[in-house]
């Protein structure tokens, strides 16, 4: 149905374009007045007024169609079937009706349900055609209204430009709406979580065992939602990742910026960038299949007990992934230090190493620190490597050979299971997501401030 | 006036001085070596990563097969109901005919287990496509079951005791006999790209995943490319510089650094929960990915627009173009190469994203590729 709407709208828009263009040329020729805008602008004006409202209408219709039909179907069922049902059971009835309407019949549904499914199909078809008709009507209305304004004196170009401006503003607003959407949805669900679990227990509790009984007769833990071990696990893995990435990244940047020739730089800078382009799932695979067993075997050979999903394996591979962040941002920072400082340092007899250590690094330090903080925020938010290579049980330990779990692993495992949305288990994922969002946001803002405030202006 | 004579004279050629200079130069050489070693370590790790992936994965591109001469018996396959014939019997008989000699029941079962469970369906599809084959002898290149496939590719070790491997001694013997007769071949595994998920490893392929990725990426591109460019053009060219423009810019830079998992939570809460869109659909996946790619495209477009020299803009204004015409007709075409480069990078990142798609449920086990 949506394809039909597109075809209708495009046809109407094209017709309006051609018609308006011809009309304004004819009117200009008849009255002898020069038209203000090119004929194509008149055509575009009409086409936009035909197409944009119709498309917007169809999008809104599509978004609301299903929920409106669902409420109507529920209202059409006999009273005795729907009274006293809570929202969850109502949606169960709706999904049963929808799956029967889609042709998948399980077991012996009640005759009222089958009748309701047939009604659903009829109404959906009707709604599809109604959408096409409404959008065509909106297009035609736009056509008729704008047609009257087509005159040589009409400033069509200004009209088109105003419409384009509004469209562009709407697109720019999408970015803000996305941030608002993230914050609102996280806050909303997190508040539902904090209704059940007090904030203090979440932030300061030392026990993270989200396995609570789903059904009344299930034997399971009581469910403790103290998130400190999870935060600690995230910090341990991020720390290991930075310990791998900072030396390698910084030294690579120093070599590429100061010691290497231009051909070496041209050859090896892209190779380092490749590390940033590899999907994180592939890193996770590498960590699970190659690095973790190798570390375990190595640990067994020297007598240490390394867990199969140790923090060292996950953190090490995450560090490899972060190397290009640190190296390219530090490279930029070092290159931004003006030549005069370098030349002055060489002039008083310092070697290259001394110049780097005493002059360049302190001058580039704000940029390097900004890069390190951005890399840290990336490490904290990284998901796939830790989902595949790190553990699921929260443990209060800083031993890198143990298995720990991170915030992102818990978010994924809590939401992949089968618990319903009201359960504190699923809502805990949103609370963790809120923490993650706030921490990474804070790190990014701090990084930006450091770079802005402490960057020297050399001129 | 105080004397400004230097109280000490340095002997720059003394042993002490020379030693200091040598030490300083040695420190310089050491730092250079550390830098080179760091680059070498990073490149070496990249090589280990790619190497281990290739080494463990390259065997998936071939599939062990045997040629079966199957006689499509008209008594087993009814011409009126081609789809319902007992193809399993036909295929098993043809497989049995490859090796002469008697086999008792246990040996028969071990032998027939070596053939893939999907071989009858290959024959069935061919006969259904061409019903004239009933009554004729058809050559079917049938895949072997997964344990034999791994044995042929060298993954299964032959020298461990029988209970520690998936291929029994009997099957090992039959495999060797088939190899002696030259019946085992390992051609390129086209089914890797045409088959969807399956319970049997030798029949599984990537078609479902490839199609799903394509659709999700298509939706992502269709949504984020126009919206991102429009937003960037507005912010760069038309917006009044002020608090609101700064606020939007800060917003976009922050969005670019938000972890992808949070976008998955957004998709789950808003698209699936509030709007009720279908779970595991490429539409929702594409929408979540487009929200992630949007900041990247906006930032790249802004940089590309900034890089267009102001002389172009001023020349266009000078010949009488309006501000919109300057941007759309002159600046945007010049900035397009940079924009497209950035878009490709953003889409490549979106293709590799997993976490948000996991959270909206796109890990269905689908046995046939979506149309």
Q: Which of residues 293-312 of A touch B (CB under 8 A)?
A: none
Query: A182 at the B interface (CB within 8 A)?
Result: yes
Q: Give every CB contact of residue A69 below 8 A, 6+ residues apart in sequence.
A: A120, A123, A124, A127
- Give residue-wise pLDDT tens across range A128-159: 888 889 988 998 898 888 888 888 888 889 99
- Reported as a pLDDT band with limits 50, 70 and 90, residue A241 is very high
Cβ-Cβ contacts under 8 Å for A51 (sequence gap 6 or more):
A9, A10, A12, A13, A139
Would you tell me which residues 402-421 of chain A have a C-beta closer than 8 angstroms to some C-beta of chain B? 408, 411-412, 415-416, 421
Pick A252's closest partner by Cβ from B35, B257, B294: B35
Please indicate whether, in this complex, the C-beta atoms of A444 and B257 are within 8 angstroms of each other.
yes
State how far residue A238 is from chain B, nearest Cα, in angstroms: 14
In this complex, the residue of A185, A383, A384 whose CB is nearest that of residue B269 is: A185
Q: Is the pLDDT of residue A216 over 60?
A: no
Mean pLDDT of chain A: 86
Test A281 with B354 for CB contact under 8 angstroms. Answer: yes
Among A256-265, B201-210, B324-333, which is the least confidently predicted range?
A: B201-210
Quick: pLDDT tens for B161-179: 888 788 888 888 888 888 8
What is the average pLDDT value for chain B, to the nearest integer? Answer: 86
Mean pLDDT of A231-251: 94
The more confident residue out of A64 and A163 is: A163
Residues β-bridged to residue B66: B142
pLDDT tens profile B332-346:
999 999 999 999 989
Burial (CB count <10 Å: 0-12, 13-18, 19+), residue A50 = buried
Whether the CB of A347 is below 8 Å from some CB of chain B: the reply is no
Interface contact flag, A176 B30, Cβ < 8 Å: no
Average pLDDT (B192-203) is: 81
Q: Tens of pLDDT along B293-322?
A: 999 999 999 999 999 999 999 999 999 999
Best to test chain A binding among B223, B267, B355, B364 (most A CBs inside 10 Å): B355
pLDDT at residue B224 above 60? yes
Q: Which pLDDT tens digit goes with each residue over A68-123?
A: 888 888 787 777 766 767 777 777 777 788 778 777 777 777 787 788 888 888 88
Query: Which one of B23, B42, B290 makes the best mutation probe of the A interface by having the most chain A beta carbons within 10 Å?
Result: B42
Interface of B with A in 278-337 (CB under 8 A): 291, 294-295, 298, 322-324
CA distances from B322 to A152, A183, A219, B313 (A): 19, 39, 73, 10
Q: Report residue A402 as tokens.
A: 């143990």
Band (A125; pLDDT cuts 50, 70, 90): confident
At residue B230, does pLDDT exceed 90?
yes
Q: Which of A66, A168, A248 sits opposite B41 (nearest CB)?
A: A248
Choose the mutation target among B258, B341, B348, B360 for the interface with A, i.e. most A CBs under 10 Å.
Answer: B258
Residue with the larger pLDDT of the pair B42 and B278: B42
Predicted TM-score (pTM) of this structure: 0.83
Please identify which residue in the block is written with the tokens 């149905």: A1
Q: Which residue in B41, B56, B262 is closest to A437 by CB distance?
A: B262
| 3-class DSSP string for chain B | CCCCCCCCCCCCCCHHHHHHHHHHHHHHHHHHHHHHHHHHHHHHHHHHHHHHHHHHHHHHHECCEEEEEEECCCCCCCCCCHHHCCHHHHHHHHHHCCCCCCCCHHHHHHHHCCECCCHHHHHHHHHHHCHHHCCCEEEEEEEECHHHHHHHCCCCCCCCCHHHCCCCHHHHHHHHHHHHCCCCECCECCHHHHCCCCCCHHHCCCHHHHHHHHHHHHHHHHHHHHHHHHHHHHHHHHCCCCHHHHHHHHHHHHHHCCCHHHHHHHHHHHHHHHCCCCCCCHHHHHHHHHHHHHHHHHHHHHHHHHHCCHHHHHHHHHCCCCHHHHHHHHHHHHHHHHHHHHHHHHHHHHHCCCHHHHHCCCCCCCCCCCC
Q: What is the pLDDT of residues A433-451, one digit of tens each?
A: 999 999 999 998 898 888 8
Query: Is residue B1 pLDDT above 60, yes or no?
Result: no
Q: Are strands B65-71 and A224-225 parallel, antiparallel or unpaired?
A: unpaired
First to last CA, chain B: 98
Beta bridge partners of B138: B70
d(CA A74, CA B70): 57
Residue B371, pLDDT > 70, answer no
In terms of pLDDT, which residue wins out, A336 or A456?
A336
The residues with which A208 forms a beta bridge, in sequence order, are: A225
CB contact at 8 A, B209 and B273: no
pLDDT computed for residue A354 by the predictor: 94
The percent of residues in chain B predicted with pLDDT above 70, rounded, is 95
Residue with the bigger pLDDT between B362 and B127: it is B127
Q: Which residues pair with A225 in a beta bridge?
A: A208
Of B46, B252, B352, the CB nearest to A279: B352
pLDDT-based confidence at B7, cuts 50/70/90?
Answer: low
A356 interfaces chain B, CB cutoff of 8 Å: yes
List the single range of A152-161, B188-197, B239-248, B271-280 with lowest mean pLDDT.
B271-280
Closest Cα partner for A171 from B227, B291, B332? B227
On the question of pLDDT at B113 being above 80, the answer is yes
Residue ranges of B 198-237 with Cβ closer than 8 A to chain A: 226-228, 230-231, 233-235
Band (A65; pLDDT cuts 50, 70, 90):
confident
A297-306, B6-15, B112-121, B361-370 — which is least confidently predicted? B361-370
> Would an 8 Å CB–CB cutoff place A219 in contact with chain B?
no
Residue A420's pLDDT band (boundaries 50, 70, 90)? low
Give the whole-number percent of chain A exceeding pLDDT 70: 94
Please name which of B363, B106, B215 lies closest in space to residue A281, comparing C-alpha atoms.
B363
Closest by Cβ to A168, choosing from B231, B355, B358: B231
The reported pLDDT for the residue numbered A164 is: 92
DSSP-derived letter for residue A308 is T
Q: How is residue B141 written in tokens?
A: 């290149």
As to burial, measured by CB atoms within 10 angstroms (0-12 exposed, 13-18 middle, 19+ buried), residue B306 is exposed
Chain B residues lying within 8 Å of A327, measured CB to CB: 42
Average pLDDT over residues A257-285: 91
pLDDT of residue A351 exceeding 90, the answer is yes
């Amino acid at each position: 149905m949506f394809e039909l709407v597109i075809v209708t709208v495009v046809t109407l828009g094209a017709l309006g374009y051609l018609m308006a263009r011809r009309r304004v040329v004819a009117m200009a020729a008849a009255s002898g007045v020069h038209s203000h805008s090119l004929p194509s602008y008149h055509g575009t004006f009409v086409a936009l007024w035909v197409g944009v409202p119709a498309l917007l209408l169809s999008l809104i219709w599509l978004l609301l169609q299903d929920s409106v039909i669902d409420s109507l179907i529920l209202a059409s069922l006999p009273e005795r079937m729907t009274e006293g049902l809570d929202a969850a059971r109502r949606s169960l009835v709706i999904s049963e009706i929808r799956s029967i309407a889609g042709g998948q019949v399980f077991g012996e549904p009640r005759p009222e349900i089958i009748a309701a499914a047939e009604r659903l199909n009829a109404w959906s078809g009707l709604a599809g055609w109604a959408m096409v008709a409404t959008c065509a009507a909106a297009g035609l209305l736009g056509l008729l209204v704008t047609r009257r304004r087509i005159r040589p004196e009409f400033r069509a170009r200004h009209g088109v430009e105003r419409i384009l401006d509004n469209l562009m503003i709407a697109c720019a607003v999408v970015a803000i709406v996305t941030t608002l959407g993230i914050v609102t949805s996280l806050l909303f669900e997190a508040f539902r979580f904090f209704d059940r679990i007090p904030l203090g227990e979440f932030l300061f509790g030392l026990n993270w065992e989200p396995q609570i009984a789903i059904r009344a007769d299930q034997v399971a833990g009581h469910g403790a939602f103290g998130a400190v071990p999870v935060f600690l696990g995230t910090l341990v893995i991020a720390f290991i990742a930075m310990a791998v990435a900072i030396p390698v990244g910084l030294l690579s940047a120093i070599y590429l910026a100061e010691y290497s020739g231009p051909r070496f730089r041209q050859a090896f800078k892209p190779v380092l960038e490749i590390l940033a382009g590899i999907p994180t799932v592939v890193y996770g695979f590498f960590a699970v299949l190659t690095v973790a067993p190798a570390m375990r075997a190595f640990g067994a050979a020297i007598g240490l007990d390394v867990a199969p999903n140790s923090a060292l394996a996950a953190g090490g591979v995450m560090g490899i992934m972060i190397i290009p962040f640190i190296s390219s941002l530090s490279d930029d920072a070092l290159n931004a230090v003006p030549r005069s400082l370098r030349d002055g340092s060489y002039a008083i007899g310092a070697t290259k190493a001394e110049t780097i250590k005493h002059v360049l690094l302190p001058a580039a330090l704000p940029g390097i620190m900004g890069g390190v903080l951005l890399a840290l925020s990336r490490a904290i938010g990284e998901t796939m490597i830790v989902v595949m290579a790190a553990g699921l049980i929260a443990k209060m330990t800083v031993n890198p050979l143990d298995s720990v779990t991170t915030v992102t692993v818990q978010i994924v495992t809590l939401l992949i299971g089968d618990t319903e949305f009201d359960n504190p288990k699923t809502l805990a994922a949103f609370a963790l997501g809120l923490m993650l969002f706030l921490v990474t946001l804070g790190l990014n803002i701090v990084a930006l401030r450091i770079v802005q405030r402490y960057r020297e202006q050399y001129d | 006036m105080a004397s400004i004579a230097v109280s000490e004279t340095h002997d720059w050629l003394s042993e002490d001085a020379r030693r200091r200079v040598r030490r300083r130069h040695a420190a310089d050489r050491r730092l250079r070596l550390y830098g080179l070693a760091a680059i070498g370590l990073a490149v070496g790790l990249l090589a280990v990563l790619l190497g281990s992936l290739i080494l463990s994965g390259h065997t998936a591109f071939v599939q062990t097969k045997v040629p079966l001469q199957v006689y499509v018996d008209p008594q087993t396959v009814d011409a009126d109901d081609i789809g319902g014939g007992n193809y399993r019997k036909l295929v098993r008989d043809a497989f049995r005919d490859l090796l002469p000699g008697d086999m008792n029941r246990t040996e028969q079962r071990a032998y027939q287990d070596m053939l893939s469970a999907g071989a009858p369906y290959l024959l069935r599809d061919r006969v259904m496509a061409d019903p004239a084959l009933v009554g004729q002898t058809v050559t079917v290149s049938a895949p072997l079951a997964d344990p034999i496939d791994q044995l042929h590719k060298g993954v299964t070790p032959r020298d461990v005791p029988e209970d520690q491997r998936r291929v029994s001694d009997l099957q090992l013997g039959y495999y060797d006999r088939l190899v002696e007769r030259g019946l085992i071949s390992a051609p390129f595994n086209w089914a890797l790209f045409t088959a969807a998920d399956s319970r049997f490893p030798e029949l599984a392929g990537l078609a479902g995943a490839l199609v799903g990725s394509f659709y999700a990426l298509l939706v992502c591109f269709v949504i984020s490319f126009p919206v991102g460019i429009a937003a960037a053009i507005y912010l760069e060219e038309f917006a009044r510089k002020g608090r609101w423009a700064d606020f939007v810019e800060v917003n976009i830079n922050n969005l670019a650094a938000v972890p992808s998992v949070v976008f998955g939570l957004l998709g789950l809460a808003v698209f699936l929960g509030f709007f009720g869109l279908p779970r595991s659909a490429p539409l929702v996946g594409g929408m979540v990915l487009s929200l992630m790619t949007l900041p990247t495209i906006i930032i790249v477009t802004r940089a590309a627009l900034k890089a267009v020299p102001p002389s172009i803009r001023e020349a266009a204004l000078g010949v009488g173009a309006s501000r919109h015409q300057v941007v759309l007709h002159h600046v945007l075409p010049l900035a397009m190469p940079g924009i497209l480069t950035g878009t490709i990078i953003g889409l490549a990142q979106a293709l590799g994203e997993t976490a948000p798609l996991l959270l909206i449920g796109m890990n269905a086990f689908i046995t046939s590729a979506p149309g």
